[in-house]
């Protein structure tokens, strides 16, 4: 007899529906799974067999074939276990399990099975649930550990911890309560560095606020111990909470990557800070299953690259497209995917390999110094809107004891600046993303500022990207200050950050 169940699989950062078909036929006992599967899916034969037996349901003693359709779609992972078990139980005509077996709608099942019949969490529950909801599925059965996350899809989610518990519910013997999205827990945010933890550095703190207001990329340069890394990590604390749509998008990406903490929805912008030894694949992602890398995991948040010149050249040059477009293409043998990467880059760098700020005391040989400075190419540097010098902290400037927080008031100013941008440009369009054709309308200058911009552009030979970058940063400064038009002071401050 042929029976079926419904589930879904991950395809990059998207999901695809999968129909599970189980057929029991006459013949010697065997169990095969077909449908372009990987080793983890093939190993489901042993997990499902043991789970069914240890849960008291037995296992068919005939030829059993399970098909995962569509056959041309590659299936990876262990999320199919529960749907396979349900299809097998329906194929042996276990009473009470065939009332909702239509693959056109009805119920869907995701989860990995333990040998004792327990149901373990899987990656990408939110993405799987969202896709199934869009395909007309009415309810989802998911592992208890994934229920809060999957509830964000809008589907009624039944959290299940054991196969016997699921069967009893499907038979109507017991009831598994539904976990709706309203009761889904939020992921706790990581502790953020407060600006008050950083001694002095008024100008770099001002640059952080401007960058957060307009979504601009920035680079801190200065000697070791000046506070560059702490400044970079404090940036995320200045950003507003994620919108509902962005929260769902970010949570989906982190769930697919298997790095979601707590199983709920993410409300704070993510912060990613890969080590300078990261490979190109680890940074941009990819592989046969197009797993997201650090660029995609930083989507809608912050990417911190500490000691920028120490990163591999191919990794740095891979930043060009995402910094410009907010997304990038990954091409592999299995196809091409467009991965989101709309983040703010906050990078740090020493002035040279030895890190001495004073050029007269630098111990680097001329060729070593030139090679170190060439690691960050001109085109990449041209995409950084703010370049900030961070001076060394003197002993007289060191404070003792905790002072009043600075990040809270700064975040309030950033939120006010973003509200002005939303009223002017539309929701979700920051100054850094304003198209060049619209800059004339968005970045209106007063008379003196317009003359100043022409002088600066001619004197310093700004590129087209640099010219637009100055205008966008000046617009963000004006928004922070509450100016309707860009003043000369706003423009000169933007130029001071850009022309370093």
Separation CA 452–CA 436 (nearest Å): 20
Separation CA 117–CA 344 (nearest Å): 45
Task: Indicate left, alpha or beta for 126 from its phi (over 0: left) and psi (-120 to 50: alpha).
Answer: alpha
Residue 51: is it exposed, middle or buried by C-beta count within 10 angstroms (0-12/13-18/19+)?
buried
Tokens 């069914």 label which residue? 52
The CATH fold assigned to 2-183 is Ribosomal Protein S5; domain 2 (3.30.230)
Confidence of residue 314 (pLDDT cuts 50, 70, 90): very high
Provide CB contacts within 8 A for 407, sequence distance 6+.
192, 194, 195, 196, 234, 237, 238
- For residue 328, CA distances in Å to 39, 331, 452 come to 30, 10, 36
**Least confident interval from 52-56, 87-91, 184-188, 385-389:** 184-188
For the chain, give every residue range classified as CATH 3.30.230.10. 2-183
pTM of the predicted structure, to 2 decimals: 0.88
For the chain, give every residue range classified as CATH 1.10.8.60. 434-498
Residues 407-430: tens digit of each pLDDT: 889 999 999 999 999 999 988 899
Res 103: pLDDT: 46
| pLDDT above 80 (res 1) | no
Separation CA 248–CA 269 (nearest Å): 12
Residues 185-244: tens digit of each pLDDT: 555 555 678 888 887 788 999 999 999 999 999 999 988 888 899 999 999 999 999 999
For the chain, give every residue range classified as CATH 3.40.50.300. 195-409
**Least confident interval from 266-275, 312-321, 446-455:** 446-455
Of 190, 151, 154, the C-alpha closest to 268 is 190
Confidence of residue 19 (pLDDT cuts 50, 70, 90): very high
- What is the CATH number assigned to the segment(s) 434-498? 1.10.8.60
Segment 270-279 mean pLDDT: 94
CA dihedral 370, 374, 375, 377 (to 10 degrees): 170
Separation CA 259–CA 241 (nearest Å): 20
| pLDDT above 50 (res 286) | yes
| pLDDT above 80 (res 359) | no
Who has greater pLDDT, 69 or 391?
69
Res 212: pLDDT: 96
Res 402: pLDDT: 47
Confidence of residue 500 (pLDDT cuts 50, 70, 90): low
Residues 94-122: tens digit of each pLDDT: 766 765 544 445 899 999 999 999 999 99
Q: What percent of the chain shows pLDDT beyond 90?
A: 61
Res 465: pLDDT: 86
Check if the beta carbon of residue 461 is closer than 8 Å to that of residue 470.
no
Res 449: pLDDT: 82
Confidence of residue 475 (pLDDT cuts 50, 70, 90): very high
| pLDDT above 60 (res 400) | no
Q: Which long-range contacts (CB under 8 A, 24 or more apart) does 455-459 make?
A: 456/491, 456/495, 456/499
Res 291: pLDDT: 86
Please give the angle made by the CA atoms of 415, 283 and 240, to the nearest 5 degrees.
10
Beta strand 30-34 pairing with 112-113: unpaired
Res 383: pLDDT: 92
CATH superfamily of 195-409: P-loop containing nucleotide triphosphate hydrolases (3.40.50.300)
Confidence of residue 448 (pLDDT cuts 50, 70, 90): confident
| pLDDT above 60 (res 123) | yes
Separation CA 7–CA 137 (nearest Å): 10
Res 295: pLDDT: 96
Mean pLDDT for the chain overall: 88
Res 6: pLDDT: 95
């Amino acid at each position: 007899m042929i029976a079926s169940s419904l589930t879904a699989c991950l395809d990059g950062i998207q999901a695809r529906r999968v129909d599970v078909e189980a057929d029991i036929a006459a013949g010697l006992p065997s169990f095969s799974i077909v449908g372009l599967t990987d080793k983890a899916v093939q190993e489901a034969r042993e997990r499902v067999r043991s789970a069914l037996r240890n849960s008291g349901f037995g296992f068919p003693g005939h030829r059993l074939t399970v098909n995962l359709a569509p056959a041309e779609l590659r299936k990876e992972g262990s999320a199919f276990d529960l749907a396979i078990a349900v299809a097998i139980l329906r194929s042996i005509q276990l009473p009470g399990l065939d009332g909702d077996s239509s693959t056109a709608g009805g119920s869907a099942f995701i989860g990995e099975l333990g040998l004792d019949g327990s149901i373990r969490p899987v990656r990408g529950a939110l993405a799987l649930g969202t896709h199934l909801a869009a395909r007309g599925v009415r309810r989802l059965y998911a592992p208890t550990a994934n229920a809060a996350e999957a509830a964000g899809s809008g589907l009624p989610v039944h959290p299940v911890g054991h196969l016997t518990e699921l069967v009893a519910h499907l038979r109507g013997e017991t009831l598994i309560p539904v976990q709706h999205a309203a009761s889904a827990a939020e992921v706790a945010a990581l502790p953020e560095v407060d600006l008050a933890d950083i001694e002095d550095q008024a100008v770099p703190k001002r640059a952080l606020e401007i960058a957060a207001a307009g979504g601009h990329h920035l680079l801190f340069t200065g000697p070791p111990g000046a506070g560059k890394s702490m400044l970079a990590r404090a940036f995320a604390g200045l950003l507003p909470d994620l919108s509902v749509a962005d929260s769902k998008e970010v949570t989906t990406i982190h769930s697919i990557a298997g790095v979601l903490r707590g199983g709920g929805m993410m409300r704070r912008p993510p912060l990613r800070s890969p080590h300078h030894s990261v490979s190109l694949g680890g940074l941009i992602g990819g592989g046969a299953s197009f797993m997201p890398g650090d660029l995609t995991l930083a989507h809608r948040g912050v990417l911190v690259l500490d000691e920028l010149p120490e990163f591999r050249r191919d990794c740095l040059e891979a930043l060009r497209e995402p910094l410009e477009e907010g997304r990038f293409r990954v091409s592999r043998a299995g196809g091409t995917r467009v991965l989101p990467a709309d983040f703010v880059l906050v990078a740090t760098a020493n002035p040279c390999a030895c890190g001495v700020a004073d050029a007269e005391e630098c111990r680097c040989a001329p060729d070593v110094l030139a090679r170190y400075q060439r690691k960050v190419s001109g085109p990449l540097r041209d995409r950084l809107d703010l370049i900030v010098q961070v001076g060394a902290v003197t002993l007289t400037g060191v404070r003792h004891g905790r002072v009043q927080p600075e990040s809270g008031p700064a975040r309030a100013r950033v939120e006010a600046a973003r509200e002005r941008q939303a009223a002017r440009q539309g929701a979700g369009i920051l100054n850094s993303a304003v198209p060049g054709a619209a800059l004339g309308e968005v970045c209106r200058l007063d008379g003196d500022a317009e003359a100043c911009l022409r002088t600066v552009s001619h004197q310093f030979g700004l590129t087209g990207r640099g010219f637009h970058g100055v205008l966008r940063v000046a617009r963000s400064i004006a928004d922070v200050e509450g100016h309707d038009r860009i003043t000369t002071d706003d423009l000169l401050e933007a130029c001071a950050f850009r022309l370093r």
